[in-house]
Amino acid sequence: MIYDFRNDLTSLSSLQMYRKYILGGECFALNSDQHYKIREIVCEKFLVEFNDVILVGSGRLGFSLKPNKRYVPFGDDSDIDLAIVSSSLFEKIWQEAYLYKKSEADWPKSNTFFKYLSVGWIRPDKLPSSKFFNFSGEWWNFFNKLTSSQLFGPYKIRAGLYHSHFFLKEYQSICIEQCMQETS
């Protein structure tokens, strides 16, 4: 797949690359039944549409697009990364985070959290500690149980929450465009 991806960088736009490799095609780390099942479990848990749970990253492609891991193959230490797209869930957590910050409670990662929020996604690892912020505990408990079930292999399962498909596309396109620049 890496050969096809790199070859397509020269003939497809970043939008076409996003559609073909992030939204379309097969999943590298999971077979089709596992891919269906993980999406089904996550959409039921968070009450989002099935098509709003998208496998991304090296688990999707078989290699990473991140600058510091560019083209590193999916391996034993890799995670299965999901993008959950839900404006209603996003806004609920945004409001709770705002109220938490307004309370002036200790939140060492708040600046980083709000930096990512400004580009349309919530990184759960930047939320307040779960003993002070209920959603954090619920989120991590769910994904840790999903991981320990080993239904999807021995990999950690992680997810980010996006406000809309626009922001997911924009975030993924940054790495695709960097790959294109490296190719030209």
Which residues of the chain fall below pLDDT 50? none
What type of residue is 134?
N
Q: Would you kindly state where each structural domain of the chain is located, as residue ranges?
A: 2-183
CB 68 within 8 A of CB 145: no
CA distance 128 to 105: 9
Mean pLDDT of the chain: 95
Q: pTM of the full predicted structure?
A: 0.94
* pLDDT single digits (tens) 40-63: 999 999 999 999 999 999 999 999
